[in-house]
């Protein structure tokens, strides 16, 4: 059986910051700061080495409360680290815990059991709200689920005495905002890797990628920028290690995000 020949717990501590590799039980309540492990998880089986089973942790939770400024677009972000590759969804409106636990993912994900990633997801609100509304970031991988919520409050001056607001997108162009990306991606050498770059923009943005040498990526046998804007790397090599930069441009502006790719050596038992 193949295994990573580097201690993954050490790698994750170096790349992602502090994360306890000891066994601990998650809790289900979010405090006022959202800075807690609020994951829902099935009972874990004994593990012979770190990260043998699926795992998922928040590295950054969204704010608990946000006040909407009249005419301003709001970005609510959450970040999580996990393996295998987690999926992230945003739930609009209040949802009971039981429904979050049973909610099926509408995001397609590749089966990549050797992958360790740190994912960043952003929900964009580009219209004026008529009432306070809850937005929940839900991450899932295998038997693990984590979630954290933000309540957005509209400006009372915009609502008026009758509480009537037409909830429609703000007029005019919206600058590109990268709403889903991986900040770090670890995988075994020889694996196929998909680096996401999902963009919210009006009009549609043009997406380009720079490789780990800072050069624009042209289509090749191993590197392909897909129509979705994602970057596909086939047969990951040790020399592929480094930062890959996604940039979204339109007439309204630009946004960029970097992903650090770490190829991991493997050896036979």
**pLDDT, tens digit, 9 for 90 and up, residues 25-69:** 222 223 334 443 343 343 344 433 344 578 999 999 999 999 998
Give the chain's end-to-end CA distance (angstroms, integer). Answer: 6
Which residues have a Cβ under 8 Å from the Cβ of 220 and sit 6 or more positions away? none
Range with the largest mean pLDDT of 41-50, 88-97, 108-117, 249-258: 249-258
Distances (CA, A) of 99 to 19, 94, 102: 28, 10, 5
Other Cβ atoms within 10 Å of 166 Cβ, number: 7
101 pLDDT more than 60: no
pLDDT tens by residue, 119-176: 999 999 998 888 899 999 999 998 889 999 999 998 876 555 545 566 777 888 999 9
Helix (H, G, I), strand (E, B) or coil at 175: strand
* H-only helix segments in 25-145: 97-102
**pLDDT for 3-12, tens place per residue?**
444 455 445 5
All structural domains of the chain, each given as residue ranges with its CATH number in brackets, are 1-170 (2.60.40.10), 172-269 (2.60.40.10)
pLDDT digits (tens, 9 = 90+) for 192-207: 999 999 999 999 999 9
Find the length of the chain.
269
Asked whether 117 and 260 are in contact (CB, 8 A), the reply is no
């Amino acid at each position: 059986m193949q295994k990573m020949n580097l201690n993954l717990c050490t790698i994750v501590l170096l790349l992602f910051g502090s994360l306890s590799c000891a066994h601990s039980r998650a809790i289900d309540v979010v405090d006022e700061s959202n800075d807690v492990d609020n994951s829902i998880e099935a009972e874990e089986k004994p593990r012979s080495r770190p990260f043998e089973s699926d795992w998922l942790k928040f590295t950054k939770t969204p704010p608990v409360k946000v006040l909407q400024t009249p005419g301003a677009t709001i970005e609510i972000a959450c970040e999580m680290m996990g393996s295998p590759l987690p999926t992230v969804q945003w739930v609009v409106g209040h949802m009971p815990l039981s429904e979050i636990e049973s909610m099926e993912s509408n995001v397609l994900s590749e089966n990549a059991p050797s992958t360790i990633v740190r994912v960043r997801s952003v929900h964009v609100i580009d219209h004026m709200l008529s009432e306070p509304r809850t937005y929940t970031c839900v991450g899932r991988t295998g038997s693990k689920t984590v979630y954290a919520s933000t309540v957005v409050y509209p400006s009372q001056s915009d609502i008026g005495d009758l509480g009537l607001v037409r909830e429609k997108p703000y007029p005019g162009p919206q600058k590109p905002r990268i709403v889903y990306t991986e900040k770090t991606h670890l995988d075994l050498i020889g694996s196929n890797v998909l680096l996401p770059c999902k963009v919210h923009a009006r009009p549609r943005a043009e997406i380009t990628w720079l490789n780990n040498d800072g050069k624009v990526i042209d289509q090749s046998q191993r590197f392909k920028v897909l129509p979705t804007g994602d970057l596909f790397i086939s047969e990951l090599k040790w020399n592929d290690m480094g930062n890959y930069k996604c940039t979204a441009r339109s007439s309204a502006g630009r946004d960029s995000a970097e992903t650090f790719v770490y190829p991991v050596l493997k050896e036979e038992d």
